[in-house]
Amino acid sequence: MGSFLRAGRGLVPVAVVVGLITWGSLSTPWDEFPRGGFGDLDISPTSAAQLDPVYARTVGDIDADLSGLDLTSGSGVVRTEILLGAGSVQLTVPDDADLTLFASTGAGSITYGDEVRDGVDQRLALVEDLGDDGVASGRPLEITVRADTGDVEVLRG
């Protein structure tokens, strides 16, 4: 109708924005996002028994403070997995932990120390990073982090 009345050019930018939003929502693989609920998740276990095998959020931020985790008692590898659809993950591991880390993002960044990987389909694999003390001691800590859309930051602390 706007073309017949020669009025309606002001709606073109609106149509472009609506089209981009529609395209984005239809092309996002929502069914592949982890099922874990919405909102922020803060965890800070102090023993391997308190550490869940998997932490997941569909949308939100995950703050996993493992700096107080006791890796001196017990035996075997301590493992956990963090899955996030959209948001950010901040993971803090003990300074002297013997860490094996597998981190990936579909779109976002991964930061570990001075190393930053930014962009689409980023991956970071650290195998047996011995930490500040440089000595293999205590129980090894193995963590897998996957963020479909978002940032992953791993800190020693």
pLDDT in tens, 121-157: 999 998 877 776 677 777 899 999 999 889 999 998 8
Q: How confident is the model at residue 10 (pLDDT cuts 50, 70, 90)?
A: confident
Q: Which residue range forms the structural domain that includes residue 61? A: 33-156
The answer to whether residue 110 sits within a structural domain is: yes
Amino acid in position 48: A
The answer to whether residue 20 sits within a structural domain is: no
Total domains, the chain: 1
The answer to whether residue 87 sits within a structural domain is: yes
Strand 99-112, strand 54-65: pairing = unpaired
The answer to whether residue 112 sits within a structural domain is: yes
Residue 40: strand, helix, or coil: coil
